[in-house]
Amino acid sequence: MRENGDRAVRPDETEVRWLDEHESEAWMSLAGLVIRLPQMLEAQLQRDADLTFFEYSVLAALSEAPKRTLRMSRLAGLTNGSLSRLSHVVKRMEKRGFVFRELDPDDGRYTNALLTDQGCAKVVEAAPGHVAAVRTLVIDALERKQLADLKDIGDRVMKRVVPEGPFLP
Amino acid sequence: MRENGDRAVRPDETEVRWLDEHESEAWMSLAGLVIRLPQMLEAQLQRDADLTFFEYSVLAALSEAPKRTLRMSRLAGLTNGSLSRLSHVVKRMEKRGFVFRELDPDDGRYTNALLTDQGCAKVVEAAPGHVAAVRTLVIDALERKQLADLKDIGDRVMKRVVPEGPFLP
DNA sequence: GAAGATTGATTGTTCAATCTTG
DNA sequence: CAAGATTGAACAATCAATCTTC
């Protein structure tokens, strides 16, 4: 199965509209951001909590879910990962004792991922450092107005990148 | 050698300032963006040009450099990658005939990466599709005003993430 | 048969160690 | 010895194929 419901960016190449100076500057700035910021957050989590950003996202999402439980497919959507990637990661974290899986009793097609007490303790331990990093690198770097602008901009782009929304309703 | 000159995000954990609702919304939006957007661009380049985004960045940077030449360390900075990663990638692309390396004649500590004609043809071939994807997913999703805001926001965050600047002067 | 989920193989990235040059 | 660069091993992500359940 392909990700994103078989939707892909297949640009029409008949006529190329190159980026003007302003567009290019904005894109260069964003390009640096989308590459470097994850690297930094990844490094902080890896060093201080021995977790990847994706692993942290999985634990965090589960910790906020009712009964600390989410279907694999929904969890993948929430954490911006593919189902395949999630499956591998959950298997690893299962060995570490942070999560476990069970077939949905009502519908055997679904698999539920559940957070263990140990996994919960792990997020609680890792969260402060991660949040502090996010604050230092992003939040505190921006004015309150910019924060609002950023949300609008992010939402707009996400509507193009993931039209169906990051999580299935 | 560690990346980023041994600078790391080591937050002070004595007191945690959690994110309020507005901060959290902005961060969630940005988090989705920094993960999903690269995935999309990666997929487009991989499918249409058999290049990773990083490989494309390397070729693009070289194509715009004087004499199609850049030092490895400077090229790593420009492409937001580590020197180690760049070294591996350049080796692969050398085999593909897109680039080659030579020791700096003046100072043997430096290695120069050079773009071949074939490599140049490759960027020229790949660029339209990539630019179209950037336009579709980002540029055309935003108002002109937002584009300017985005650049300011990106620059501000980058100043925190990479204080020394993405490329060494 | 379709959707959710898993798997194994391939490929790419990271990390620490190493080598070289000035 | 410090900075630039490379290497190989360990690890993570991707892709296509497969399996299961309804």
* DSSP conformation letters of chain A: --SGGG-------SS-----HHHHHHHHHHHHHHHHHHHHHHHHHHHHHS--HHHHHHHHHHHHSGGGEEEHHHHHHHTT--HHHHHHHHHHHHHTTSEEEEE-SS-TT-EEEEE-HHHHHHHHHHHHHHHHHHHHHTGGGS-HHHHHHHHHHHHHHHHHH-TT-SS--
**Arithmetic mean of pLDDT, B150-158:** 97
Amino acid code (one letter) for A6: D
Proximity of residue B84 CB to strand C below 7 A: yes
Nucleic strand C under 7 Å from the C-beta of B81: yes
Interchain CB contact of A139 with B (< 8 Å): yes
The pLDDT of residue A6 is above 60: no
* Predicted pLDDT at A15: 83
Interchain contact A124–B (C-beta under 8 A) = no
Chain B residue at shortest CA distance from A16: B128
Q: Tell me what the pLDDT averaged over chain A comes to.
A: 91
CA of B86 to C1' of D13 (A): 18
- Count of beta carbons in the 10 Å neighbourhood of residue A126: 20
Query: Higher-confidence residue: A165 or A38?
Result: A38
The nearest CA of chain B is from the CA of A97 a distance in Å of 25
pLDDT of residue A11: 58
What is the C-alpha to C-alpha distance for residues B137 and A31, in angstroms, rounded to an integer? 12
Backbone dihedral angles phi then psi of residue B11, each to the nearest 5 degrees: -65, 150
User: Closest residue to D22 by CA to C1' distance?
Assistant: A109
Strand C atom within 7 Å of B4 CB = no
Inter-chain residue contact B128 with A11, CB threshold 8 Å: yes
Contact call for residues B133 and A122 (beta carbons, < 8 A):
no
Distance between B106 CA and the closest CA of chain A, angstroms: 31
Q: Is the CB of A52 under 7 A from strand C?
A: no
Rg of chain B over all Cα atoms, to the nearest angstrom: 19
Name every chain A residue with its beta carbon within 8 A of the beta carbon of B144: 22
> Residue A86 pLDDT > 80, yes or no?
yes
Asked if A151 lies within 8 A of B34 by C-beta distance, the reply is no
Q: What is the mean pLDDT of residues B152-167?
A: 90
pLDDT in tens, A95-129: 999 999 999 999 999 999 999 999 999 999 999 99
Contact B39, A7 (CB under 8 A): no
A-B contacts at Cβ under 8 angstroms: 216
Is B24 part of the contact surface with chain A (CB cutoff 8 Å)? no
Phi, psi of B71, deg, nearest 5: -65, 145
**A131/B20 Cα distance (integer angstroms):** 11
Distance of B110 CA from C22 C1′ (whole Å) = 11
Rounded to a whole number of angstroms, the distance from the CA of A72 to the nearest CA of chain B is: 18
CB contact under 8 A, A142 and B133: no
Q: Quick count: other Cβ atoms within 10 Å of Cβ B20? A: 9
Q: Is the CB of B52 under 7 A from strand D?
A: no
For residue A1, the SS3 value is: coil
- At B63-105, the pLDDT tens digits run 999 999 999 999 999 999 999 999 999 999 999 999 999 999 9
Say yes or no for a CB contact (<8 Å) between B40 and A131: no
For residue B60, is pLDDT > 90? yes
D8 closest protein residue (CA to C1'): B88
Specify the long-range contacts of residues B83-88, CB closer than 8 Å, at least 24 apart.
B83/B1, B85/B54, B86/B58
pTM comes to 0.91
Tokens standing for residue A11: 């640009």
Nearest CA to B148 among A25, A36, A137, A19? A25
